[in-house]
Amino acid sequence: MKVLCDVFGVHRSSYKYWQRRDKSPSIEQLTLLNKVEEAHELSGGSAGARTISEIVTQDESDITLSRYRASKLMKKLGLVSCQLPKHAYKKASKEHVTIPNLLERQFDVVEPNQVWCGDVTYIWTGCRWAYLAVVIDLFARKPVGWAMSHSPDSELTVKALTMAYELRGRPKNLMFHSDQGSHYTSRKFRQRIWRFKIKQSMSRRGNCWDNAPMERFFRSLKTEWIPTTGYRSFKEAKLEVTKYIIGYYSQVRPHQHNGGLSPNESEERFWQNYKTVANLT
């Protein structure tokens, strides 16, 4: 230690005094730690060091807390921002199949089981992303098939399509529209489309408006139902998403496209009128 003190020009008695100093936190430090913890709780656990430093500085005019010091204090308190990590799809390495846009934004159809749309979105489930594939019937914007998985592959989209096909009584003369994701251009998905005798249509590359009804559905799901911090587990996410699709969205939620009716009620009225006309003829 004598050598180190000589190298840095520090007297040994100064070092010993520093070593024996009172290491308990001061009142100011305890107050600051308390302010940081309060700011973190106020944000619902979502605030990072930058936000916490701004909150503390604004609330206390006599305290100036930098983001770097806030980061150290958060680490000392064991506080972590619960903001979701950024999501990025993996780029497909398989050959891309070109399928024409047969729908051409003709989203208004006159009866159920004429045109279905499908898409995939992502949901945070505790420690990783989960993927949700949904199929909706354009007539009443009713979700007719869905599936969740940890992988956004063709297995996921095939499950959602198969569910819709079976639940809707295996309809004929049907068109299925989606974007150009690899889970819809894959051989496995196209084989299932061919097996069900469904005509396939795809949006133009990079044009989300060509599949606007699906974008609108996912927007409603995420803004009305899914917590901003996601779900705690895959099981919870699957249960809550199913509850939204079957319960709130299909049975209760009024839809502007349906004249204020829910998708279920809109379809029910169509079939009642259809039976009435059929009986008259």
Digit-coded pLDDT (tens) for 121-160: 999 998 889 999 999 999 999 999 999 999 999 999 999 9
Residues 6+ positions from 197 with CB-CB distance below 8 Å: 172, 174
Instruction: For residues 111 and 8, give the distance between their C-alpha atoms in angstroms, rounded to a whole number.
Output: 85
Counting other chains too, the contacts that 186-195 makes at CB distance below 8 Å and 24 or more residues apart are 186/94, 186/153, 186/154, 188/154, 188/155, 188/158, 189/154, 189/157, 189/158, 189/161, 190/97, 192/158, 192/161, 192/162, 193/161
pLDDT at 67 (0 to 100): 80
136 forms beta bridges with 117, 143
pLDDT at 64 (0 to 100): 74
In this prediction, residue 6 has a pLDDT band, given cuts at 50, 70 and 90, of confident
Per-domain residue ranges for the chain?
Answer: 24-82, 115-280
CB 132 within 8 A of CB 146: yes
pLDDT in tens, 62-120: 677 788 888 888 888 887 766 556 666 555 555 457 799 999 999 999 999 999 999 99
Residue type (1 letter), 122: Y
CB 200 within 8 A of CB 100: no
Average pLDDT, the chain: 85
In this prediction, residue 30 has a pLDDT band, given cuts at 50, 70 and 90, of confident
pLDDT at 86 (0 to 100): 66
Residues 6+ positions from 250 with CB-CB distance below 8 Å: 142, 143, 262, 263, 264
pLDDT at 183 (0 to 100): 92
* Mean pLDDT in residue range 34-58: 75
Give me the count of residues in the chain: 281
For residue 218 the two structure tokens come to 């996912």
Q: What is the pTM of this model?
A: 0.69
* CATH code, 115-280: 3.30.420.10
196 CB burial (10 A radius; 0-12, 13-18, 19+): middle
What ranges make up the beta strands (E) of the chain? Answer: 115-124, 129-137, 142-149, 175-178, 199-202
Instruction: For residues 148 and 131, give the distance between their C-alpha atoms in angstroms, rounded to a whole number.
Output: 6
pLDDT at 207 (0 to 100): 85
Residues 6+ positions from 187 with CB-CB distance below 8 Å: none
225 CB burial (10 A radius; 0-12, 13-18, 19+): middle
- Provide the 3-class DSSP secondary structure of residue 175: strand
